[in-house]
Amino acid sequence: MRFVVVTGMSGGGKSTALKMLEDLGFYCVDNLPVPLIEKFVELIATPDSEITKVALGLDVRADQPFGDVQKTLEKLQRDGYSFEILFMNASDAVLVKRYKETRRIHPLSPDGRIEDGVKHERKILNDIQKKADYVLDTSNLLTRELKEEMDRIFIKNEEYNSLMVTILSFGFKNGIPADADLVFDVRFLPNPFYIDELKHKTGNDKEVQDYVMSFPEAGDFMDKLIDMLDFLIPNYVKEGKYQLVVGIGCTGGQHRSVTLANELYACMKDHGNYGMKLYHRDVKKGV
């Protein structure tokens, strides 16, 4: 039997993950009272049970200490039950924004500020996050992208590192992305903007791609960048990093940076057992 415990920050996507697991054939139960968890596991683990895949949703509630949940999980492990932990996460800013948009009350700050509840919850969940087998940060994930990550873990059963790499193209004239971890400037390459037939196209068009990549410097840059990322990413994984944003910038964010971001994504997407997404921030501005 495959047994998955789904937990994480309130607003991080636990309910969505459980729905997706249900679509994948898991028998899903959400927020059992702590005293019933052990009995539930005993029942579904009986040899004659027809249930082969189970997902149990657990989160912080004001009416039951999460420490009791952790003690119950530890006891299950001592009793020989094996399970995986999926931790749904998001940045504090995104969690606050989601709560404000939905006008929901945070379970740990019913009469106070959402920010205080988020900080308190993160402190409570710190230990179980460290023990998690998979950590999915949904701060910048579309529902489709989350489903792809869930499929990788629970359908394809790929070896998984809880790192999401975002390749982000941008234009320096619109500012460096605040969430970029690594920033690379490709303004050393000739600019297609000054060629009439390419000016109003973007790095998503083959003509622009062929022009930019026709220069040997573009290929050399790509080889060196891939080599650097192949070195850095495993070390980021080792340090427990969950999000890596690689920014590639040119002047306007429409030609050179888009081309090289596309090229980098195509080369890197099958390089390792981590998630990868591509985003062009400024590609539609001014074209």
Reported confidence tier of residue 62, pLDDT bands at 50, 70, 90: low
Are 124 and 170 in the same domain? no
Boundary residue ending a domain (154, 182, 207): 154
Boundary residue ending a domain (120, 154, 188): 154
- Mean per-residue pLDDT, 61-70: 78
Instruction: Say if residue 284's pLDDT is above 80.
Output: yes
Are 144 and 175 in the same domain? no
pLDDT of amino acid 156: 77
pLDDT of amino acid 287: 56
Print the domain residue range for 102. 2-154
Are 74 and 200 in the same domain? no
Beta bridge partners of 277: 166
- Mean per-residue pLDDT, 75-79: 92
Boundary residue ending a domain (154, 173, 201): 154
- Mean per-residue pLDDT, 192-215: 95
Q: Could you give the number of structural domains in the chain?
A: 2
Domain for residue 286, yes or no? no
Q: Does the global pTM surpass 0.75?
A: no
Domain for residue 215, yes or no? yes
Are 117 and 144 in the same domain? yes
